[in-house]
Amino acid sequence: MQFDQFRTFRVAASDLNGQMRGKRVPANTYAKLDTEGSRMPLSVLNVDIWGADIDDSPLVFASGDEDGVLKPTEHGPVPMPWLDSPSALVPMWMFHDDGRPFAGDPRHALARVLARYAERGWTVQAAVEMEFYLVDDTGHQLSAPQNPISGRPVFGNAILSIRQLDAFDGFLTDLYEACDAMDIPADSASSEAGLGQFEINLAHRDAMAAADDAWLFKALVRGMARRHDMAATFMAKPFENDSGNGMHVHFSVLDEDGNNIFDNGGPEGTDLLRHAVAGCLSGMPGGTLLWAPHENSYARFAPGAHAPTGACWAYENRTAAIRIPSGPARARRIEHRVACGDINPYLVLAGILGSALAGIEDQAEPPAPITGNAYDLDLPGLMPDWSSAVDRFETDPLMARIFTPELIRNFSMTKRQEILRLAEIPPEEHWMVYLETV
């Protein structure tokens, strides 16, 4: 990247909700970032959805709200094509002054899990499928966007519609060009069932890079939509009667020789695949807060809403929470289909991969794979609501094997504060809280 074209940089890290927190800095300070970093309070990564400090947080009160040091990640800077003035974003993560990773940083949570795979000589390859809506937010409630060709609001379901893709070709073309500029490996795009809903698949790569891709992609989609006089949202359920937004995660694991540890040459996969599946199933109730971190998330899990609600697995079955896709044996992988679109990708990948590794460590065996429609079966489920999901995450023994006590405490406190504050806002205004923050 040619840095002389940029007047300013943004330095930003992910908070627990996946929002970017950081600073706007002049271009001449870029050279100092590797050696000096950028100082910010540690508590900035553990604020609520509105950006407010957590009441009684030990990060603020017990520690005196001490500073940490933001340092550049290995990802490197990317342009910000949605801005009018030439600017670049430097992805960062938080450390203490003595060089220790800050345990409340969600990117470090994923790094800890991946380090445990590396101890076995393994690397994780992952990819995500991202669903989002384009919407008109100019009124008192959300509505479908205008068709750029006709000028009339979008109507009718348009699942896998080439017509709808063509109608929004200007936005999608600019989005793909921006993905190229930001080194986000955008693959296929499709029109989904909801009015103005799209899905874009991001290609397989190293798991940390895949999480970075998802984090940057969400910011890019929202920014590019505004350039096209629309809003974009990853809210789990923007419209009560339309499909929700999900984020499906695909992953496989390679050994030191580059062999897929899930591949036994056949469609069923290895014992290690079954153990990983068992771990993913065990992690679903305790990880509900990861897959569904906001009030609106739970509307997506309503019966008949085409979102997985029961902990089960299957081969080539899209009604199951865990799907083993067909295809070449060398590409055998696990697809985790539970997470909503409003998630923090670092926490979701940490939860999924940490649960899978726990299953491998324990040599756990899953129940038999289901056949038929998972929605018709009586299955163990996720936590039923936001409050119980917080309680379970805070005390779940499997989550304690994956995340540090500090992150579990901070995330739980954050969500409890959001529950209380959202209760003070009229329900019909809740979408304004979530539209572009998640």
Segment 240-283, tens digit of pLDDT: 988 899 999 999 999 999 999 999 999 999 999 999 999 999 99
Which residues does 288 contact at the CB level (< 8 Å), separation at least 6? Answer: 382, 383, 389, 392, 393
Rounded percentage of the chain residues whose pLDDT exceeds 90: 79
Q: Bridge partners of 10?
A: 24, 89
Do residues 327 and 335 touch, judged by C-beta distance below 8 A?
Answer: no
Q: Bridge partners of 134?
A: 232
Do residues 9 and 86 touch, judged by C-beta distance below 8 A?
Answer: no
- For residue 392, name the pLDDT band (cuts at 50, 70, 90): very high
Do residues 207 and 114 touch, judged by C-beta distance below 8 A?
Answer: yes
pLDDT tens figures, 19-29: 999 999 888 88
Residue 2 is predicted with a pLDDT of 58
Do residues 255 and 121 touch, judged by C-beta distance below 8 A?
Answer: yes
Residue 62 is predicted with a pLDDT of 61
Residue 49 is predicted with a pLDDT of 98
Residue 193 is predicted with a pLDDT of 65
- For residue 429, name the pLDDT band (cuts at 50, 70, 90): very high
Do residues 412 and 437 touch, judged by C-beta distance below 8 A?
Answer: no
Residue 44 is predicted with a pLDDT of 95
Taking the C-alpha atoms of residue 68 and residue 71, their distance in angstroms, rounded to an integer, is 10
Tokens of 402: 């994956």
Which is higher by pLDDT, 314 or 30? 314
Give which of 53, 55, 57, 46 is closest to 18, Cα–Cα.
Answer: 46
Half-sphere exposure of residue 215, counting CA atoms within 13 Å on the CB side? 30
Which residue matches tokens 């500090």? 406
pLDDT tens figures, 40-96: 999 999 999 999 999 888 776 666 679 999 999 999 999 999 998 889 999 999 999
Residue 155 is predicted with a pLDDT of 67
- For residue 303, name the pLDDT band (cuts at 50, 70, 90): low
Taking the C-alpha atoms of residue 147 and residue 217, their distance in angstroms, rounded to an integer, is 23
Model confidence at 159: pLDDT above 80: no
Rounded mean pLDDT of the chain?
Answer: 93
- pLDDT mean over 337-351: 98
Q: How far apart are the first and last CA of the chain?
A: 29
- For residue 362, name the pLDDT band (cuts at 50, 70, 90): very high
- pLDDT mean over 188-196: 79
Residue 28 is predicted with a pLDDT of 83
Model confidence at 306: pLDDT above 80: no
Do residues 132 and 244 touch, judged by C-beta distance below 8 A?
Answer: no
Which residue matches tokens 């990948």? 349
Which residues does 169 contact at the CB level (< 8 Å), separation at least 6? Answer: none
- pLDDT mean over 304-315: 86
Question: Which element (helix H / strand E) includes 109?
Answer: helix 106-119
Residue 285 is predicted with a pLDDT of 97
DSSP state of 50: T
Taking the C-alpha atoms of residue 353 and residue 348, their distance in angstroms, rounded to an integer, is 8
- For residue 189, name the pLDDT band (cuts at 50, 70, 90): confident
Residue 192 is predicted with a pLDDT of 76
- For residue 153, name the pLDDT band (cuts at 50, 70, 90): confident
Tokens of 371: 């056949």
Residue 146 is predicted with a pLDDT of 87
Domains located in the chain, CATH noted = 3-105 (3.10.20.70), 113-434 (3.30.590.10)
